Amino acid sequence: MNFWFRLPIRTRLGIVAIILLIVAIYSLTLWMNDPTHHRPIASIIRLSPILFLFWLAWSDLRRIPFWVWLLMPIILIICALKPMCWFLVIPATLFALFILPKKK
């Protein structure tokens, strides 16, 4: 058990993503006609590629400032409640990405 916690977070994330992808493919082939397993299979199929993309972008995600991580859930909740806010958030984010200086 200690071996798992000594691994870097990126490695653990990759292992979980691969396991979920294997479980999703296995479940999809095994229970193709069983209607009771469609929801868990669909959620695993949606979650495993997202975890895999987080694994690929891990080094870039570490460069994001801490205040952005705190602000992101608040912005997502506001945009979920008022979808017209996306028309402000997306251009503002792109503008900030182009204007902010790059770290060397």
- Say if residues 17 and 52 touch (Cβ distance below 8 Å): yes
How many Å apart are CA 104 and CA 17, to the nearest integer? Answer: 31
| Integer CA distances (angstroms), 45 to 13, 21, 36, in order | 16, 7, 16
| Residue 39 in domain | yes
pLDDT in tens, the chain (104 residues): 577 778 888 888 888 888 888 887 777 777 666 666 566 677 777 777 888 888 888 887 887 778 888 888 888 888 888 888 888 888 888 887 788 766 66
| Residue 87 in domain | yes
| Residue 17 in domain | yes
How many domains does the structure of the chain reveal?
1
How many Å apart are CA 80 and CA 84, to the nearest integer? Answer: 9
What's the domain range around 82? Answer: 2-99
pLDDT for the residue 35: 61
| Residue 104 in domain | no
4-9, Cβ contacts within 8 angstroms, sequence gap of 24 or more: 9/58
| Residue 90 in domain | yes
